[in-house]
Amino acid sequence: MKIAVYGKGGIGKSTTSCNISIALARRGEKVLQIGCDPKHDSTFTLTEFLIPTIIDTLQSRDYHYENIWPEDVIHKGYGGVDCVEAGGPPAGAGCGGYVVGETVKLLKELDAFNEYDIILFDVLGDVVCGGFAAPLNYADYCIIVTDNGFDALFAANRIAASIREKNRTHPLRLAGLVGNRTSKRDLIDKYVEACPMPVIEVLPPIENIRVSRVKGKTLFEMVGSEPSINYVCEYYLNIADQILSQPEGIAPKEIPDREFFSLLSDFYLNPINDEEQGNNQENLLGFTMI
């Protein structure tokens, strides 16, 4: 099974991806996580250092693919999860998307795709064009990481459009949304009401999730010294279980951009406070509480 994780830049895709990878490994799966970002820091919390990238290795071998072996580019991470970083050109020079395409090409030549139960692509931000869309050509499922904010959901809607387009020629399905570190989900619910799609999980704003990134450790590793956060791991295990159930998924039908802006702008400009919401619910029940 191949899974592509997308979402707005800075939303917590890499932290989410690493913890999902560990959760899948805990369920007995052999997992490879591929970082598809020129910053090459997707797998940092699995390996605790910035591993050599595909592009670094190719450059060191003068782009002779035949001189590269799996152990040159695949590195072991925490919990037995194998890790690859595509890397990219220096900032402002070259195309990072091209490197993602070359990474997929190299791994296929090394027959790496056939060595794993789960391959998880952690993809740069919400860029869904060129090489950065390449993982969608191989993925069985896409997971979109979001929060309860306007910008993240707007990015999610654009990613949904890419999934729908890829679904025309490839059996790609949207597994659903994962809400990351959000205390509310009213905007998420408003969006999925207008654009139906599954919500796999919504993680509350647990500070340890953010801290794990700074520490360079997954939540599962942090539990060793902080048993009190074991409950956080259950969120990721739940996501893993839903993925392993091979959900039907959907080919989403995104909302047109202007309609999206109107939908969520109205929600912001005309909020329903808790008292009004309670009154609305009472009216729907046909009585007024005293």
12 marked as part of a ligand binding site: yes
Q: Of 248, 27, 10, 24, give the one whose Cα is nearest residue 152.
A: 10
| 203-226: average pLDDT | 92
Q: CA of 230: how far to CAs of 27, 99, 134, 223, 243, in Å? A: 16, 37, 35, 6, 21
Query: Which CATH architecture best describes the domain 2-269?
Result: 3-Layer(aba) Sandwich (3.40)
Give the Å distances, CA to CA, from 274 to 119, 185, 186, 281. Answer: 43, 14, 12, 11
Span 259-286, pLDDT tens digits: 999 988 877 777 655 444 444 433 333 4
Contacts of 201 (CB under 8 A, 6+ apart): 178, 179, 235, 238, 239, 242
Report pLDDT for 290.
32
Answer yes or no: is 15 a known binding residue: yes
The residues carrying an active-site annotation are 8, 13, 39, 126
* Residue 180 in marked binding region: yes
Burial 75-105 (b: 16+ CB within 10 A, else e): bebbbebbbbbbbbeeeeeeebbbbbbbbbe
Residue 217 among known ligand-binding residues: no
Mean pLDDT of the chain: 88
**E strand or H helix at 263, and its extent?**
helix 257-269
* pLDDT, tens digit (0-9, with 9 covering 90-100), for 95-112: 777 788 888 888 888 888
Confidence of residue 289 (pLDDT cuts 50, 70, 90): very low
- Phi, psi torsion values for 2, nearest 5 degrees: -120, 130
Q: Does 39 show up as a binding residue in the annotation? A: yes
Regarding pTM above 0.85, the answer is: yes
pLDDT at 287: 36
High-pLDDT (> 70) share of the chain, %: 90
